[in-house]
Amino acid sequence: MAVQAVAGATPEPAARPEAVAARRSWFAGLRSAKTITGLAILGVFVVAGAFGPMVWRTDPSALSDDVLQPPSGAHWFGTTQTGQDIFAQVLVGTRVSLLVGVTAAVMATVLSLIVGLTAGYVGGLTDELLSALANVFLVIPALPLVVVLAGYLPTRGSLTVAVVISLTGWSWGARILRAQTLSIRRRDFIEAARATGERPARILLFEILPNEMAIVASSFLFTIVFAILTQAGLAFLGLSDVTTWSWGGILYWAQNNQALQSGAWWWFVPPGLCIALIGTALAFVNFGIDEYVNPRLRVRGFHPRKSRRVRRTAPKQVVQDAGAAGDVLLEVTGLRVDYGDGPNAVHAVDGVDLVLRRGEVLGVAGESGSGKSTLAYAITRLLRPPGQVVAGEIRYWPTSAGPVDVLKMSDAELRAFRWAQLAIVFQSAMNSLNPVLRLREQLGDALIDHGPGMTPGQRQKRIAEVMTMVGLPTDRADAYPHELSGGMRQRALIAMALVLEPDILVLDEPTTALDVVVQRQILTKIMNLREQLGFAVVFITHDLSLLIEVADRIAVMYAGRIIETSTAKQLYEAPRHPYSDGLLHSFPLLHGPRRVLTGIPGAPPDLRLRSAGCAFQPRCTQAMAACTTTIPLLSATNLPTEAPDHQVACLLYQDGEGR
């Protein structure tokens, strides 16, 4: 009897082991193949630009008799029409192009940072003026402006060209940084920093700016590319100093001397290739930057799970053919849902058996990570990759025919099944409604799809009917979702769910985002409608107190499993599983004595770190030695016989082990 000493002062257990990996993988971003390739190419260019002209001592401007020679040992990239060495030109050109690119990018980035951060953080008139300025620069076509500017400049050296380029290249970054600053400024942690008494400048530089480093870096890299391209363009047009060798300059001379026509590919291919390569390299480097800057991305992938053999308490229960009783509507057996594949797969739903009877309200209670929403998605077959059902059956029993496995339905069958037989209402009504369609159109869609015989008149009649049914004024049928209040949107969703009179209504936290009064109104409405129309409800929520009030039966989920199921009354009066018991003592009541409540020590489980035994064991005050090695299965053993529906997955109640 090794009782886990976790009760009492609730010391929070130390954080997860993945944390250790975080710091070690600080340079994880640099380990990706793309980033390494990018850095390698970039390195070659930098070395070539910096030291190339010193090693390859041929003067790029020196004329010789080797006119228009293809690449050879003496002239690696061949020669021009005047016998100049193209390799030497490219080396010097690399230096010039990189210098112009980096200088212009530094200047443009500084400019865009100043404008973007100031506009975003100060707001008001400053923002409007700076944004207007940035917009003006954004719509002016860059190259023509550069052409005009370059045409009026007294000198056309590399630095001048860089200045001109940075003047046209900053506005794009400034716009993005402004938008980013605006959105970060509204985040809680900025307000929290203000509330601690931080000065605005410090907030800007130490709280906001670091969060934008990925954008700053990528904008910097792309400005380099932009600058190199623009410089090449200017040089190609002959608008920069054509006596300075640059990639664009080489192309200018190649073009002027009809290199293309004379088939001297070695003249124009190397500079062109250089431009393309450096663009690719910078794009590759950009991939790694996000991971380098964002601590959240430094941990890559899921933490490998220890694969330990798990002993199960009992052989898999033989599921009695409940359908024979006639009142079973939906029967879930052995359902398992994984996110991801292989050894790193997370078992979000891990062997769930569930029965929904006709006309009943089945409550599924659970906290974050319990798998309750995944269960809802699996039942409705709305699961998206990487989520996948790996085992189990979901049998639906229509009134007239034999059972159908929902998981084996074809797409057409599924379309007919969903909505007409089973409808779902999600938590976020705004996200579930189409913002650009009127309510009438959204309600009508289901009728068009599923009721082919209906005339438009009948459809409008039905729409008015369901709207009245859920308590929506019919004159709101032509409203768009944003014109409705949160409560009305949720009603609209329920109307949509009920428009085809389904047998099953799945509610996934339908009222969590709503206020208590509105929540109560909507729940009362649903329950009244259920009595009227006779559909069954699967009500998924974290709010156990609410479930006890409205549900007939409740299944409590923890770490992907159902750990207790019973009637609502039974669960409230005599919860068996320590977790259900703890949960029931986790919310204060409106009546009765005001006693000290403790909640449950520890935190909900991280499904990525699976334990070999009962998932609740680390938080359990009654844990035994066997709990760390054995996963208890749901069974009715050792429970009072007067509650045949009461099942619990806990070793305290199982034969031979514990009491």
Partner 1 sequence: MTTQSDQPVLEARDLIKHFPVHRLRRRLRGRAEVVHAVDDVTLTLRSGEVTALVGESGSGKSTIARLLAGLYPVTSGTIEIDGATARGTRGRHFREHVRRVQLVFQDPFGSLNPIHTIAYHLRRPLKVHGYPTTRAALVELLEQVNLTPAEQFLTKFPHELSGGQLQRIAIARALAAKPKVLLADEPVSMLDVSIRLGILNLLAGLVKSLDLAMLYITHDIASARYFASTTLVMYAGRVIEGGPSEELVQQPAHPYTRLLLESAPDPDRAGTGPDLLDAGEPPSLVDPPAGCRFHPRCPHAMDICRTEAPGTTELRPGHWTKCWLYSASTEPVPAR
To partner 1, the closest distance from the beta carbon of 510 in angstroms equals 14
Q: Nearer to partner 1 by C-beta: 15 or 324? A: 15
CA-to-CA distance for 519 and 172, rounded, in angstroms?
46
| Alpha-carbon gap, residue 446 to 423, rounded angstroms | 11
Strand pairing category for 361-365 and 536-541: parallel
- For partner 1, the closer of residues 458 and 598 by Cβ is 598
Cβ atoms of residues 360 and 323 within 8 Å = no
Shortest distance (Å) from residue 586 CB to partner 1:
5
Sequence-separated (6 or more) residues with CB below 8 Å from residue 536? 329, 330, 356, 357, 358, 359, 360, 361, 362, 503, 504, 505, 530
Q: Closer CB to partner 1, residue 445 or residue 543?
A: 543
Q: Which CB, 21 or 420, lies closer to partner 1?
A: 21
The distance of closest approach from Cβ of residue 203 to partner 1 in the complex, given in angstroms and rounded to an integer, is 10
Instruction: State the SS3 of 294-331.
Output: CHHHHCCCCCCCCCCCCEECCCCCCCCCHHHHCCEEEE
CA distances from 566 to 116, 358, 484, 537, 579 (A): 58, 17, 38, 16, 14
> Which residue's CB is nearer to partner 1, number 193 or number 536?
193
Nearest approach in angstroms of CB 70 to partner 1 is 54
Contact 129, 216 (CB under 8 A): no
Instruction: For strands 504-508 and 422-425, give the pairing.
Output: parallel
Q: Nearest distance from residue 310's CB to partner 1, in Å?
A: 24
Q: In this complex, which beta carbon is closest to partner 1, that of residue 198 or of residue 393?
A: 198
Minimum CB distance to partner 1 smaller for 66 or for 543: 543
Using DSSP's 3-state secondary structure scheme, residue 239 falls into coil
516-555 core/surface letters (b: 16 or more CB in 10 A; e: else): eebbebbbebbeebbeeeebbbbbbbebbbbbbebbbbbb
Element (H, E) at 234: helix 213-236
Q: Looking at beta carbons only, is 207 or 291 nearer to partner 1?
A: 207
Beta-carbon count within 10 A of 189 CB = 12
Query: Which tokens belong to 636?
Result: 């009715």
Closest CA to 219 of 127, 310, 282: 282
At 564, is the secondary structure helix, strand, or coil? strand
Contact 98, 282 (CB under 8 A): no
Nearer to partner 1, 451 or 486 (CB): 486
Q: Report the nearest approach of partner 1 to the CB of residue 71 (Å).
A: 49
Closest by Cα among 136, 133, 158 to 145? 136
Closer to partner 1 at the Cβ: 72 or 512?
Answer: 512
Q: Least distance (Å) from partner 1 to the CB of residue 211?
A: 6
- Minimum distance, C-beta of residue 196 to partner 1, in the bound complex (Å): 4
User: CB of 303: closest distance to partner 1 in angstroms?
Assistant: 12
450 or 608: whose CB is closer to partner 1? 608
* Closest separation in Å from C-beta 604 to partner 1: 5
Both tokens of residue 351? 């062997």
355 DSSP 8-state letter: E
Cis, bond preceding 144 (omega within 30 deg of 0): no
Choose among 277, 287, 310, 302: nearest CA to 43: 277
Shortest separation between residue 568's beta carbon and partner 1, angstroms: 8
Whole-Å CA distances, 62 to 97, 135, 188: 21, 46, 64
Phi-psi label, residue 277: left if phi above 0, alpha if psi -120 to 50, beta otherwise: alpha
When the beta carbons of 149 and 623 are compared against partner 1, the nearer one is: 623
Least separation in angstroms between CB 592 and partner 1: 8
Dist. CA 77–CA 80, nearest whole Å: 10
Q: Residue type at 420?
A: A
Kindly state the smallest distance separating residue 419's Cβ from partner 1, in Å: 26
Of the pair 240, 490, the CB lying nearest partner 1 is at 490
What is the per-residue DSSP string for 252-275? HHHHHTTTTTTT-HHHHHHHHHHH
In terms of Cα–Cα distance, which of 424, 475, 447, 511 is closest to 484?
Answer: 475
| Residue 201 Cβ vs partner 1, minimum distance, rounded to whole Å | 12
Residue 415: how many other CB atoms lie within 10 Å: 13
Minimum gap (Å) between residue 69 Cβ and partner 1 = 56
Q: Which two tokens stand for residue 79?
A: 């020669």
Task: Supply the minimum distance, in Å, between the C-beta of residue 493 and partner 1.
Answer: 16
Q: Which is nearer to partner 1, 194 or 312 (CB)?
A: 194
Considering the complex, what minimum distance in angstroms separates the CB of residue 212 from partner 1?
A: 10
86 or 623: CB nearest partner 1: 623
In the bound state with partner 1, the residue whose beta carbon lies nearer, of 353 and 360, is 360
| Between 51 and 189, CB nearer to partner 1 | 189
